A = this chain, B = another copy of it.
Amino acid sequence: MTIYNAPARDLSFVVNELLNFEQHREELGFEDADPATISAIFEEAGKLASDVFHPINQSGDEQGCRLEDGEVFTPDGFKEAFKQYTDSGWGGLNAPEEYGGQGMPHTVSFLVSELFTGANHSFYMYPSLTHGAFGAIATWADEETKQLYLPKMVNCEWTGTMNLTESHAGTDLGMIRTKAIPQDNGKYRITGNKIFISCGEHQMGENIVHLVLAKLPDAPEGSRGISMFIVPKFLVGDDGTLGARNGVRCSSIEHKMGINASATCVLDFEDAEGFMIGKPNEGLKAMFTMMNSARLGVGIEGLGTAEVSYQNAVVYAKDRIQGKAVDGRKLPEKPADPIIHHPDVRRMLLGMRSFIEGARALAGYTALQIDISHCHPDEQARQNAEDFLGLMTPVVKGFFTDEGTAAANTAVQVYGGHGYIKEHGVEQFARDARISQIYEGTNGIQAMDLVGRKLGLNGGRAVMAYFQEVGALLKSAGDDEAMQPYTQPMAAALASLQKATQWFMQNAMQDPTNAGAGAVDFLRLFGIVAVGAMWVRMAQTCQKALADGSSDKAFYETKLSVGRFYMEHFVPEHTSLLARIETGSETMMGIAAEAF
C-alpha cells in the first residue's frame, strides 16, 4: 500500500512566503484569497486527495476500465469520488463566480491540482479535461452557449474532452479527416474517427461535452483548415435539458502501459450534431487555449508523481534496514541500519526532492503569471506575464514530466526488487507517469515549440526579458556570502543557456535541422535554469526568515540544504547540454534514411 500526504506546509511556503501573494491580492482583485484562506484550501484539498482519491489509485490500476455495449465503466469508487469532488465545489475553484465558480486565483488552484493528480493521476484526468474544455468554451463560445454549458461544467456535472487525434494524424493535425457538414439550422453534422480520447466515455457526469476538431467541406489544406465544434454526448435543449443521444459512440478503449483507470477511447462520430465555436478554419487557435492550459496541467502531473514517489520512497528508506551505515552505526542493536543513511539512497531521494520543491515554486510562479495576465490593471504587466507563459509552458510540460517519470523510476530503485512488484504500488507511478511525456504534444514537440517558435517570437522579446530577469535576480544576491553556493553555479548555467540561445540564432536560421537536433537538450537546459532560479529566490526567502528569527528554523535550514543539492546535482548538467547543442545536426542528418 502506498501513502499520500499533501505537502501543505510547502505549498503555503510557496504562495504565502516565496510569492507573497498577499502583496498581489488587491491589485489582482482576489479579495477572498488571504493567506489563512489559502492555507485552509490547501489543507482541505489535501484531505480529499489523501482520504478519497489516493485510496482508489492502486485498485483503479488493477481493475482498469471496462467497455460494455458502448458504455464505459470506471473502476470501483471512481464515480463516488467524482461526486464528492463535484459536490464540494472543487471543480470551480478558479472559475468565474458568474458561472458558479469560486473565483480563486490560479496561483492557488494550479498548486491544488498538484495534490489531486499526485494522489491519483488517472482519476484527476476526468475533472482536469473538463476544466480545459471549460476554458476553451469560456474564451471562444458566444454568450448563449456559455450560459448554457458553463454552469453545468464548472463543477463537472457535465464533463469535457478534447478530440484532436486520428489514427494517421497525431502531431500533424493538418491531416485530420473528420468532416463537418453545415446544416440549414446553422449547426453541423460531424463524421469521423478520433482516437486516444481521454475520458471520452464514462458515466461520471450527466453529459459529456466533446470539443472536436474537424474540417469544413471547403476548408483549406493542412492546419489552416481546421475548425472546432462542440459535440455533446446528449443533445442539449435551449433550456439546458438533456435530449437524445448524439451520434457519437465509443467503439473501443485502449489497453495501456498505465493510467488504466482513465478511459482512453476510440470515438466514432457519425452525423453527430455539433456547432462551431470560434471562427471557421481557426479551430487550432481555439484548441490552443485549451492545449496551453492542458500542457501546464500535464507538467503538474510530473510534479505530482514526483511528490508521491518521493513520499513512498522515504517511508521505505526509513523502514528498510539493510547494510551498515559507513559513517557509523545508527541502530547498533539491530543487524543493519535503515537505508536512508546510505549516501546513494540520499542521492536518489534528494534528486527527487530538490526537483520537486524547485518545480513547485516554479509552478506557483507560473500560475501567478496566469493571474497577472488575466487580472493585472497594467497592460504592460499583462503582456510581460503572457510572454513568460508562452516561454515557460513547453518548459514546464517537458521538464516536469521528464523528471516525473525519472522520480517514479528512482522510487522503484529505492525499493529495489520490492519496487518491481505490483503489490508495493510504486511501479504504477512509473507506468502512469510515462504518458505525461507523450500526450498534449510529445516532449520533443514541446522542445520544438520552445526553440522553433517561442525563442524568436516578437524578436525574442520573451526570452530576452527572462534572461534579464534571472540576471537581475543573481545580481541582487551578488554580494551576499551566504548566497554564493546558489548564485555562482546559476550564473554559469545562465551563461550556458544564453550561449545555447545565441548558437541557435546563428545556426538554426540557415539550417533549421540545427534547431531540431538540439531542441530537447535546450529545453532541459532551460528547465534546469528556470527551476534553479526559483531555488535562488527560495534561498533568499529562507535566509531572510532565519535572519528574522523564525520559529520554524528546521524547515528553512533543510530547504537551504535541498537547494544546495539542486545546485550540485542538476545544475552541473549545463556544460554537457551546451556541448551537445553545439554539435548541431551535421552528423545525424548526414546518414541516409536507408542506413537506419
Contacts and interface: CB of A to CB of B under 8 A. Distances in A.
Interface of A: 165, 168-172, 174-175, 196, 221-222, 254-258, 314, 317-318, 321-323, 326-327, 330, 335-336, 338, 340-350, 353, 405, 409, 412-413, 416-423, 427, 430-431, 434-435, 437-439, 442-444, 447-448, 511-517, 519-520, 554, 558, 561-562, 564-565, 568-569, 572-576, 579-580, 583, 585, 587-593, 595-596
B595 A558 contact: yes
Given A427-B257, A439-B417, A442-B416, A342 B516 contact: yes
Given A595-B554, A596-B318, A257 B431 contact: yes
9 contacts: A171-B322, A171-B323, A254-B422, A314-B596, A327-B512, A330-B593, A344-B448, A346-B591, A561-B590
A326 to B, nearest CB: 4
A361 to B, nearest CB: 18
Nearest to A348: B444
* Pairs A-B, 3 closest by C-beta atoms: A343-B516, A572-B579, A568-B583
By CB atoms of chain B within 10 A, which of A342, A430, A572 has the most? A572
B513 A422 contact: no
Contacts of A419: 438
A318 B593 contact: yes
B422 A256 contact: yes
A443 B419 CA distance: 14
Contacts of A423: 254-255
Dominant secondary structure at the A interface: helix
A40 B534 CA distance: 60
A435 B447 contact: no
A553 B592 CA distance: 13
A256 B343 contact: no
A521 B574 CA distance: 16
Given A257-B430, A434-B430, A513-B343, A561 B591 contact: yes
B409 A434 contact: yes
Given A335-B174, A417-B196, A434-B409, A344 B444 contact: yes
A24 to B, nearest CB: 31
A208 to B, nearest CB: 20
A346 B588 contact: yes
Contact of A420 (B175, B353, B434, B590): B434
A399 to B, nearest CB: 15
Contact of A172 (B326, B336, B592): B336
A438 B421 contact: no
A259 to B, nearest CB: 9
Contacts of A430: 257, 434
Contact of A585 (B343, B438, B519, B520): B343
A393 to B, nearest CB: 18
A127 B100 CA distance: 65
Given A175-B335, A413-B443, A588-B346, A317 B596 contact: yes
A394 to B, nearest CB: 13
Contacts of A513: 326-327, 343
B323 A588 contact: no
B347 A517 contact: yes
Nearest to A572: B579
A208 B348 CA distance: 38
A332 B425 CA distance: 49
B171 A340 contact: no
Contacts of A520: 344, 347
Contacts of A341: 593
A554 B513 CA distance: 23
Nearest to A313: B596
Contacts of A569: 580, 583
Nearest to A565: B587
B580 A572 contact: yes
B165 A589 contact: no
Given A170-B322, A591-B558, A593-B340, A417 B431 contact: no
Contacts of A564: 587
Given A255-B421, A318-B596, A561-B587, A444 B413 contact: yes
A511 B569 CA distance: 20
Nearest to A428: B257
Nearest to A555: B595
Contacts of A330: 593
A561 B592 CA distance: 11
Nearest to A563: B587
A457 to B, nearest CB: 18
Given A344-B444, A427-B257, A568 B591 contact: no
Contacts of A405: 409
B576 A573 contact: yes
A412 B348 CA distance: 24
A345 B321 CA distance: 44
A519 to B, nearest CB: 6
B438 A413 contact: yes
Nearest to A255: B422
B565 A588 contact: yes
Contacts of A171: 322-323, 416
**Most B C-beta atoms less than 10 A away, residue of A338, A343, A572:** A343
Contacts of A593: 318, 330, 338, 340-341
A423 B266 CA distance: 14
Contacts of A579: 572, 575
